[in-house]
Structure formats: C-alpha cells, structure tokens
Chain A
Amino acid sequence: MQEATFLILTALADRSQHGYGIITEVRDISRGRVRLRAGTLYTALDRLRADGMVAVDREEVVEGRLRRYYRLTPAGTGVLAVEAARLHANAAAALARLRPGLAGGLA
C-alpha cells in the first residue's frame, strides 16, 4: 500500500472528512511531511471508492460549492488494520534489532 493511501485511510479512521479535511489531517498525521495535492487525493479516492474501501458519507453545499464527506467502509477498516499491524510489527522488529547497537554505541 502506498503511503498516501495509508494516510488517507488513517485520516478517515475515526470520523468522516471532506476532501480539504483529509489534506489537513494527512499533513497533521505525518507531522507536516506529506502534503497531499488535490490530483493525488482524488485519484486515490476514486480507486478506494471503486475498491469498496471508502464510501461517501454525506454531501453538503457550502458557499454554493459541493462538499462531500467520505468515510471508511468495514472493508476499508479491515485493510487499514491489517496494514497498520504489519507496519507496526516491522517497526518493532527494526527497533528491537537496533537497540543493542545503539546501547553499544552509547557505551
């Protein structure tokens, strides 16, 4: 899974968001490192919707413009959980192996 996709799913994990909301959430989650652009976001959303991982939650009209809120589907939640567990396990393994080296380096 690409990082942008992972972060989009993460942004939607606890509540629904509209497009601009996803962009700001992703920026916050990644501590300012990932700044999604509209083209990347909507290409990813188009695919995620087709794959049944994301669905439209509701639509609002704000200042004459359509605002669409997206949410994770149960399938999307499952995929995100599996991917997060995988990344977590990898990170834990990396840290566990680094620790003796770091300790040695510090000693």
Chain B
Amino acid sequence: MSGQGTVCERERLERGYRRVLAWYPRSFRAGSGEEVLAVLLATAAEGQTRVGWAEAWDLVRGAVRMRLWPAAARPRAVRAAVKLMLAGAAAELAAVITVVVTAGAVRAAVAAHDSAVVPPVTAHLIAEMALLPVAVGMWLWLAWANGRGEDWARLLSVSGFGLTTMGLVSTLAEGAAPFARADLIAGAAVWAIGLASVVLIFTPAAGRYYRPALQPARQ
C-alpha cells in the first residue's frame, strides 16, 4: 500500500459498490448500507478498483430477493398464496400458448359445425390472446404486492379472480366450448389456482399480516 494512488483507488471502488448497493430497498440501505459497504471494502482485493462481476451478481441477486421476498415474518398462508400466484402466472402463460396453438383447430371445428358462430368465436379468441398476457403480468404483480402485505392487493386479487371467473363462464357460454377442450382445461386450472390463493389470503392468520387499508392520518 503506498500513497495517493491507493486512496484514489479505494474511493473509486467505494463509488462502484455504492452504485450496486442502490439496488437494495431503501429501508435496508438506511439500516445496513454502510455496514455492508465496510465488509465489501474489507473483502476487496488489494489494488482492486472496480466491482467484480461475481460480486456485483451476488449483490444484485440479494437485492432482488429482498425486494421480492421481504424478510418480515410472513404467515404460512401468505407464503403459500404468493407461491400459488407465481404458479398462476405460469398457468396463465400456458393458457395463452394453448389458445394460440389450438386457435386454428377450434375455428375449423366450429366452422364445420355451425358457420354462423365463427365471427363471435374468432372475436373471443382474439380477445383472449390480447388479454391473457396482461393477466400473466397481473399475477406476477399481485404475487409481489401480496407478499409485501399490501391490503389493496388482496382486494385486487379478489377482483382479478372475479374477472377470471367471468372469463371462464363466458367461454363456457360461447358455442365453441365443446370444441375448445384444451382451452377450457387450461382456463379451469388457472381458475382453481386463483380460488385457492384468494381463500389463503383471506384466512385469519393472513389477515393479521396485511396492513389496515385506512391508517389513522398523522401530521
């Protein structure tokens, strides 16, 4: 270790670490940011001036984990619901793929049976292709928000489940139902996952975890 160069290098390295630490939740940085920085500087190799790839990856992974799964003691029901919602996103994605893959076959089968219902069935298929990807995003967002214990996320989850139910019912009401068995099975799977996760987040144990929707206003 000698003179000015080392100090300059350290400062550069510290700035680099601070940039990566900015990925962490604000609350964590406020409580432990300086402490983590001290450990990073203590473990850095001599003469190191920039953050290594492996270090950066390790830090970013930790930050993402903390943001997605905050460490607040989460009741088992909520943890299960979050996992189910992630599964719901996967199931929804599978449903999109099923609808896209089977669209041609469904239309052909419907046309052979009754050509008059082809336009509404086509419209329904297009609407599903457009809406289901949005639904995948919704599932992920709700999994994240419910995991954080946001009370609005519970209400939004119920609304989402209501929409899923209506979507399923409208598919059943459509004349195409007998010809789109794969779509129906995928839709029913998504619906069942939605039902289970909504039941879980409204159990009494989960209820205590969610913040009250209206907090007393304080000046």
Residues on A facing B (Cβ under 8 Å): 19-20, 23, 37-43, 46-47, 49-52, 65-68
Contact = CB atoms under 8 A, between A and B. Distances in A.
A23 B40 CA distance: 11
A89 B73 CA distance: 30
Contacts of A38: 36, 39-40, 43, 55, 58-59
Contact of A42 (B36, B54, B55, B60): B36
Interface stretch (B64-72, B87-95, B177-185): B64-72
User: Chain B interface mostly helix, strand, loop or mixed?
Assistant: helix
Contacts of B8: none
B34 A65 contact: yes
User: Chain A interface mostly helix, strand, loop or mixed?
Assistant: helix
Contacts, number: 64
Size bin of chain B's contact surface:
20 to 34
B35 interface: yes
Nearest to B60: A39
Given A42-B62, A46-B71, A67 B32 contact: no
Contacts of A42: 32, 35-36, 39, 62
Interface string B190-208: 0000000000000000000
